[in-house]
Chain A
Amino acid sequence: MNPVRKKRLILIGLMVAGVAIAVGFALNAFNQNLMFFYAPSEVIAGDAPPDHPFRLGGLVTTGSVQRQPDGLTTRFDVTDNVKTVTVQYTGILPDLFREGQGIVAHGKLNENGVFIADEVLAKHDENYMPPEVAASLKDAHDAATAPAAGKSSKP
Chain B
Amino acid sequence: MIPELGHFALILALCMAIIQAIFPLVGSLNRTPDWVALARPVAWGQFVFLSLSFGILTHAFLVNDFSVLYVAQHGNTELPTIYKISAVWGAHEGSLLLWVLILSGWTVAVASLTRNLPDEVVARVLSVMGMISIGFLSFLLFTSNPFERLFPVPVQGGDLNPLLQDFGLAVHPPMLYMGYVGMSVAFSFAIAALIGGRLDSAWARWSRPWTLVAWVFLTIGITLGSWWAYYELGWGGWWFWDPVENASFMPWLAGTALIHSLAVTEKRGAFKRWTVLLALLAFSLSLLGTFLVRSGVLTSVHSFAADPARGLFILMFLLFVIGGSLFLYALRAPGISRGGGFANLSRESMLLGNNLLLLVITALVLLGTLAPLLYDAFQWGKISVGFPWFTSMFVMFTPPLIVLMGAAPLTRWKQQDPAALLRSLRLALGISIVAGLVMALPVREGSLSAGLAVALSLWLLSTLLTSLKQRLKNRSGVGGLLADIASRGGRSYYGMWVAHAGIAVFVIGVTFVTQYDIEKDVRMSPGQEIQLNDYRFRFDGAVPHKGPNYTAQRGTVRVFRDGKEIAVLHPEKRTYLVQSRPMTEAGIDAGFLRDIYVSLGEPLGNGDWAVRLYYKPFVRWIWLGGILIAIGGLLAASDPRYRMRVLARMRGSRTATGTTTAEVHA
Could you tell me which A residues sit within 8 Å of B by CB distance? 4, 7-8, 10-12, 15-16, 19, 22-23, 25-26, 29-30, 32-37, 55, 67, 70-72, 90-93, 95-96, 123-126, 128, 130-132, 135-136, 152-155
Report yes or no: B521 in contact with A23, Cβ–Cβ below 8 A: no
Determine, out of B376-384, B474-482, B631-639, the stretch whose residues face the partner at the interface. Answer: B376-384
Q: How close is B213's CB to chain A, nearest CB, in angstroms?
A: 30
Asked if A152 meets B396 with Cβ closer than 8 Å, knowing A95-B582, A95-B583, the reply is no
Report yes or no: B521 in contact with A92, Cβ–Cβ below 8 A: yes
Chain B residues with Cβ below 8 Å from A23 are 360, 364
Report yes or no: A15 in contact with B352, Cβ–Cβ below 8 A: yes
Residue of B with least CB distance to A133:
B382
Interface residues of B in 566-597 (CB under 8 A from A): 581-584
Q: How close is B259's CB to chain A, nearest CB, in angstroms?
A: 20
Chain A residues with Cβ below 8 Å from B304 are 124-125
Asked if A30 meets B385 with Cβ closer than 8 Å, knowing A71-B523, A92-B610, A125-B304, the reply is yes
Determine, out of B60-68, B248-256, B601-609, the stretch whose residues face the partner at the interface. Answer: B601-609
* Set A36, A71, A131: member contacting B608, Cβ < 8 A: A71
Residue of A with least CB distance to B391:
A33
Q: How close is A98's CB to chain B, nearest CB, in angstroms?
A: 9
Chain B residues with Cβ below 8 Å from A67 are 604
Report yes or no: A95 in contact with B381, Cβ–Cβ below 8 A: no
* Bound: A110/B135 CA distance, A: 53
Q: How many B residues are at the interface, by size bracket? A: 35 or more
Q: Is the interface of B mostly helix, strand, loop or mixed?
A: mixed
Residue of B with least CB distance to A14:
B344
By CB atoms of chain B within 10 A, which of A12, A71, A91 has the most? Answer: A71
Q: How close is A143's CB to chain B, nearest CB, in angstroms?
A: 15
Q: How close is B338's CB to chain A, nearest CB, in angstroms?
A: 9
Report yes or no: B523 in contact with A153, Cβ–Cβ below 8 A: no
Q: How close is B159's CB to chain A, nearest CB, in angstroms?
A: 13
Chain A residues with Cβ below 8 Å from B382 are 36-37, 132, 135-136, 152
Chain A residues with Cβ below 8 Å from B234 are 95
B368 at the interface (CB under 8 A from A): yes
Chain A residues with Cβ below 8 Å from B547 are none
Asked if A153 meets B381 with Cβ closer than 8 Å, knowing A10-B344, A22-B396, A33-B389, the reply is yes
Chain A residues with Cβ below 8 Å from B384 are 34-35, 37, 55
Residue interface bits B384-395, CB-to-A below 8 A is 1, else 0: 111011001100
* Bound: A135/B382 CA distance, A: 9
* Set B353, B582, B612: member contacting A15, Cβ < 8 A: B353
* Bound: A80/B356 CA distance, A: 46
Chain A residues with Cβ below 8 Å from B299 are 123, 128, 130-131
Report yes or no: A26 in contact with B393, Cβ–Cβ below 8 A: yes
Chain B residues with Cβ below 8 Å from A34 are 371, 375, 383-386
* Set B367, B392, B523, B583: member contacting A72, Cβ < 8 A: B523
* Bound: A121/B393 CA distance, A: 24
Chain B residues with Cβ below 8 Å from A152 are 379, 381-382
Report yes or no: A96 in contact with B582, Cβ–Cβ below 8 A: yes
Report yes or no: A155 in contact with B381, Cβ–Cβ below 8 A: yes
Q: How close is A63's CB to chain B, nearest CB, in angstroms?
A: 17
* Set B344, B367, B368: member contacting A7, Cβ < 8 A: B344
Chain A residues with Cβ below 8 Å from B523 are 70-72
Known contacts A23-B364, A92-B601, A135-B382; 12 further A-B pairs (Cβ under 8 A): A11-B349, A19-B360, A67-B604, A70-B523, A72-B521, A72-B610, A91-B521, A92-B612, A95-B584, A125-B304, A130-B299, A155-B380
Chain A residues with Cβ below 8 Å from B602 are 92-93
Asked if A124 meets B163 with Cβ closer than 8 Å, knowing A36-B381, A96-B581, the reply is yes
* Bound: A154/B522 CA distance, A: 38
Q: How close is A12's CB to chain B, nearest CB, in angstroms?
A: 8
Q: How close is A133's CB to chain B, nearest CB, in angstroms?
A: 10
Report yes or no: A30 in contact with B389, Cβ–Cβ below 8 A: yes
Residue of A with least CB distance to B161:
A124
Chain B residues with Cβ below 8 Å from A135 are 382
Chain B residues with Cβ below 8 Å from A11 are 344, 349, 352
B357 at the interface (CB under 8 A from A): yes
Asked if A71 meets B610 with Cβ closer than 8 Å, knowing A8-B341, A92-B602, A131-B299, the reply is yes
Chain B residues with Cβ below 8 Å from A15 are 352-353, 356
* Bound: A105/B388 CA distance, A: 17
Chain A residues with Cβ below 8 Å from B383 are 34-37
Chain B residues with Cβ below 8 Å from A95 are 234, 581-584
The 4 closest A-B pairs by CB, nearest first: A92-B601, A33-B389, A37-B382, A71-B523
Report yes or no: B368 in contact with A19, Cβ–Cβ below 8 A: no
B343 at the interface (CB under 8 A from A): yes
* Set A29, A92, A125, A128: member contacting B393, Cβ < 8 A: A29
B443 at the interface (CB under 8 A from A): no
Residue of B with least CB distance to A74:
B602
B397 at the interface (CB under 8 A from A): yes
* Bound: A52/B393 CA distance, A: 21
B662 at the interface (CB under 8 A from A): no
Q: How close is A10's CB to chain B, nearest CB, in angstroms?
A: 7
Q: How close is A53's CB to chain B, nearest CB, in angstroms?
A: 9
B301 at the interface (CB under 8 A from A): yes
Asked if A26 meets B364 with Cβ closer than 8 Å, knowing A35-B383, A124-B301, the reply is yes
